[in-house]
Amino acid sequence: MPLALRDARTVEQAMSGQFAFCFPSTSLAQAARMMAQNRVYELPVIVDQRSLGYVSYLDILQRYVRAELGGRAADIVRTPLPEVRPELPLADAVRVLRDSGRLVILVTTSSGMPLGALTARDVAFAMAAA
């Protein structure tokens, strides 16, 4: 596919509309199960239709090693994930994904309500379909 056409694609064309997330009250054991089932390493924590932040598989593993899995997602939530709008060119979103060092970015409305997620895997699928 010519570069000009590839650049014309938007986040909405590549994003996952269904994505795994948890709530602040989700147990760490359940969050770990959700990550494993959905093959993700970062799980957004959603409250009141907004992203509070995310929990990391590595943080859960550290808790597991210390035998401290009795907590909740709210106990280890990290700063919010980067957010992009669905109409953003995919190339720009890929730069946000790369520059953030995250494995997932949220696709949100202008008011911050999550609509979906964009992962490196989604980008790979979009590139393969090109």
Per residue in 41-56, pLDDT (tens digit) is 999 999 998 999 999 9
Q: What is the dihedral of CA 106, 57, 33, 40, to 10 degrees?
A: 40
**Section 17-36 average pLDDT:** 93
Residue type at position 61? L
More confident residue, 35 or 2: 35
Global pTM reads: 0.82
Phi, psi of 88 (to 5 degrees): -65, 140
pLDDT band at residue 11 using 50, 70 and 90 as cut-offs: very high
Is pLDDT above 90 for 127?
A: no
Binned at pLDDT 50, 70 and 90, residue 7 comes out as low
What is residue 37's predicted lDDT score, i.e. its pLDDT?
A: 94
Interacting residues of 50 by C-beta distance below 8 A, sequence separation 6+: 112, 113, 114
Neighbours of 73 (CB within 10 A): 28
Is residue 3's pLDDT more than 70? no
The percent of residues above 70 in pLDDT, for the chain, comes to 94
Query: Can you read off the two tokens belonging to residue 81?
Result: 């994930």
Examine the pLDDT at 96 and tell me if it is beyond 90. yes
- Topology given in CATH for the domain delimited by 3-129: CBS-domain (3.10.580)
Cβ atoms 33, 11 nearer than 8 A: no
